[in-house]
Amino acid sequence: MRPPRLAILVLIGATCWATAPSWAADSAADPAASIQGLVEGLGHPVYAERRDARRRLRSFGLKAFDALRAAQQHDDPEIAEASRQLLGGMIESWAWPGDSPSARELLAGYGEGYLDGRLECVVGLAKLPLQRGVAPLVRIARFDASDRVARSAAAALIETTEYEIPPEDFASLDAAVDELNERYGPGKRWASDWLNLAVSEAGRRYPMMAWRKQALRLKRAANRHEEGATPWIREQVLWRWLRVALRRDDAGESAEVVAELLELDEQDAGRRLSRALEWACDAPAPETARRLETDHADSLRDKRGLYRRAELALRFGSAEEAERLFAKALAAEAPLSAGKRATAEALYGPTVVIAGELRRRGLSDWARAEYEAAAGVFSPDKPIDGLDALVAWRLADLHYDAARYAEAAAALAPLVAVCDTTPAARERYDNLPQVKYELYGGLPRRGSLKSQARLCRALAAHDAGDDATEQAELLQAIRSDSTNADIAIAMHRVRNPTEDFAKKTDEVLVEMQRIFEQRIWEWEDSDDPERDPDWRANLYNQWAWLVSNTTGDYDKAVRYSRRSLDVNPDRPSLLDTLGRCLFSAGRLDEAIAVQRRAVEQRPWIEVMRRQLDEFEAALAESEGDR
């Protein structure tokens, strides 16, 4: 007998009531509990309830991400599949308001991309200058469904080749992580843990045991052959663990981390050991460095290792031992590294890269010796070699920074001469990849090369008291490069200018200020969405640097200099300009404070240090006059 329809409806209602989802009661009290209830609702026996759970999970948006990601491993295959589908359509566009044009271009179509394409995007974002890729990378680390992609993004953010991390790196990462945490709560995946730990270091918290935990569980994941535990990802976490161990003066922990680093890849162990020793030299307690040197002496026989040992000998006051090791390092071959450094070494040669490293560590005499040993010969009968040209330029720059202007001019003279006298050499120079591309800091255009050589000769003549040569070289230099502020500044500082030279100097200053100002207005008036904010910073900085070192409205120079710092408030070269502007405006205390910030970030740049010395001497003199 067919049952009455009313009875069937009553039975269905009773069944639905008995299996009613719990999220209605939970949602008001605890959104997280509501989300978890909705996830379970994806497997509800009644289709309408499953559909409603999907709808409501979509309304939670990215707040439901962690619960859905975990549910991909649910015992109920229907819940696991529904979670995967919801995750796939959770983010319509990975480019968010505030992203730079270059970041937006890289993120175009990110959500539809395959794994390899998304990994390539991570690499591209990590290469963007001025922290423009930080916010998108934090987003990917938090919300990409793939653990490998998310961890790669987080590893790119925590990667550091230096023991001291620039303040701007902390600031940009902190802001991006805080924004997502405030919107969606703290993340619950390993990649999120790494970013939160990295941010905590900005407040001088050094969570050594937390980094140990992250590194060792990554190692276990690698032993299980998980795709999100690649050697490169593991290496970045290990470097963070080493950094906090050194900060806490824990020699035993540091030695353990170094052992883990060396196990990653025997072929690249020398590079890792060299960097670990370099970091240990910078740490508060250099005894750790001594222990590492003793434990791994046999692995420190290549050029980098010998330089690290020589530096350590200097640190401990053994000048004779340092010189002996330096001589061995200079004569040693430099094997190619792996990883990112290998790219620079392949393009520019390991000598150029190692000399640059030595300079950044304040070992300028050793850097100069490396450049001089690698210097090539320029001849009309020999095509210009890009590496030889780069060595000459870097050597001249090192001399210029140390105010050795005659030596700087001499380093550039053979290269400039062969370009001046040989059309084939000029064409060859203009087409060098080191000129056309700016990877790792390349060569200037030929006009700038020539004007820099003349500026060096002029400054050398200034120091020698040769007024005629100084003025003649500066007039030639400004003709080669009419918007080079340093040439105009040198013209302004000539001690005994002729009447014609003084008139020309005034004309140059007025015209250069006008050109720089016009470029600023053109940039601000443009509505081009692709315009580069870094270029704007450069324009404001040019005007401020020129005026603060010559004549003009010094208060306006301060305003313009501060404007240049909008994009990157801790950029050392821009801080150096602001210091000069404040000094010219008579604000000595502020000038010294700003200049100290610049020097702290680039202690190896001698011209910044000389400017700080000048400011401090002026302050001492003013206080003595009171």
Tell me the pLDDT of the chain averaged across its residues: 89
Whole-angstrom distance, CA of residue 417 vs CA of residue 385: 15
Range(s) within the chain of domains with CATH label 1.25.40.10: 513-626
pLDDT beyond 70 at 147 = yes
pLDDT of 24: 43
pLDDT beyond 60 at 332 = yes
Pick the CATH number of 513-626 from 1.10.3720.10, 1.20.1530.20, 3.40.50.1260, 1.25.40.10: 1.25.40.10
**559-570 pLDDT, tens digit each:** 999 999 987 788
- Residue, of 622 and 10, whose pLDDT is higher: 622
pLDDT of 13: 41
pLDDT beyond 50 at 422 = yes
Mean pLDDT computed over 368-392: 91
Lowest mean pLDDT across 27-36, 139-148, 502-511, 610-619: 27-36
> Confidence class of residue 9 from pLDDT cuts 50, 70 and 90?
very low
**570-600 pLDDT, tens digit each:** 889 999 999 999 999 999 999 999 999 999 9
DSSP 625: T
Q: How far is CA 358 from CA 303, 362, 363, 375, 501, in A?
A: 12, 7, 5, 17, 41
With beta carbons less than 8 A apart as the criterion, state whether 208 and 254 touch. no
pLDDT of 27: 44
Q: Report the chain's terminal Cα–Cα distance, integer Å.
A: 114
Mean pLDDT computed over 242-269: 91
> Confidence class of residue 262 from pLDDT cuts 50, 70 and 90?
very high
pLDDT beyond 90 at 14 = no
Whole-angstrom distance, CA of residue 260 vs CA of residue 243: 14
pLDDT of 479: 94
- Residue, of 337 and 402, whose pLDDT is higher: 402
pLDDT of 112: 80
Within 13 Å, how many C-alpha atoms sit on residue 197's CB side? 28
Query: Which of the listed ranges 101-105, 442-446, 553-557 does the model predict with the highest average pLDDT?
Result: 553-557
Share of the chain above pLDDT 90, in %: 65
pLDDT of 508: 98
Quick one: tokens of 396? 């001249």
pLDDT beyond 80 at 3 = no
